[in-house]
Amino acid sequence: MAEDISYFTNDGTGNFTFQWSRDVGANDTTSLTSADFDNDGDFDLMRGTIGIIHYFTNDGTGNFTFQWSTNVGVGRIWALTSADFDNDGDIDILAADGIGRIYYFANDGTGSFTSMWRVWLPFGNVNSLTSADFGFLHFIFTETKP
């Protein structure tokens, strides 16, 4: 079974127009996040699947090109969030999997990421993940307890 990612543009008044759909292969996407990861002025895309994060760059016209994937484990990547967590001016990512781990990847400003740490949570599945600025960026998550 194949899977598409679809792209809609907003006209600034809340009206969305379908632009395109792209086949991304297997039916296993569990999370998406977008930001200008490579600092070229347009939004790129991170896609979470079964234990893998995939990175796609935008050419500025809405065409996305696959760049790389990284295997982070066996659990589904249920949640991705992006923000400047290390306060260095570029967008980093946090990823959460279905077996209780959160991973932090620091961006060098060109779209190249380094795994900085992972934390194991006591209860298991991370269902959602977001970030917010309370002076410095923090993250908040929900998880399923047994």
Residues 41-52: tens digit of each pLDDT: 999 999 988 888
What residue type is assigned to position 73 of the chain? G
Residue 42: the pLDDT is 92
Q: Is residue 136 predicted with pLDDT exceeding 70?
A: no
CA dist., res. 30 & res. 12, Å (int) = 28
Q: Is 89 left (phi over 0), alpha (psi -120 to 50) or beta?
A: left
Residue 28 tokens read as 């296993």
Most confident of 27-31, 116-120, 132-136, 138-142: 116-120
What residue type is assigned to position 138 of the chain? H
Instruction: Report the candidate in 24, 108, 31 with the shortest Cα–Cα distance to residue 72.
Output: 31
Q: Is residue 39 predicted with pLDDT exceeding 90?
A: yes
As a residue count, the chain comes to 146
Number of H helices, E strands in the chain: 0, 11
Question: Angle 103-107-108 (CA atoms, 0-180°, nearest 5)?
Answer: 145
Contact between 114 and 105 (Cβ < 8 Å): yes
Q: Which residue has the higher pLDDT, 72 or 145?
A: 72
CA dist., res. 105 & res. 85, Å (int) = 9
pLDDT in tens, 108-128: 999 899 989 888 777 667 777
Mean pLDDT value across residues 83-102: 88
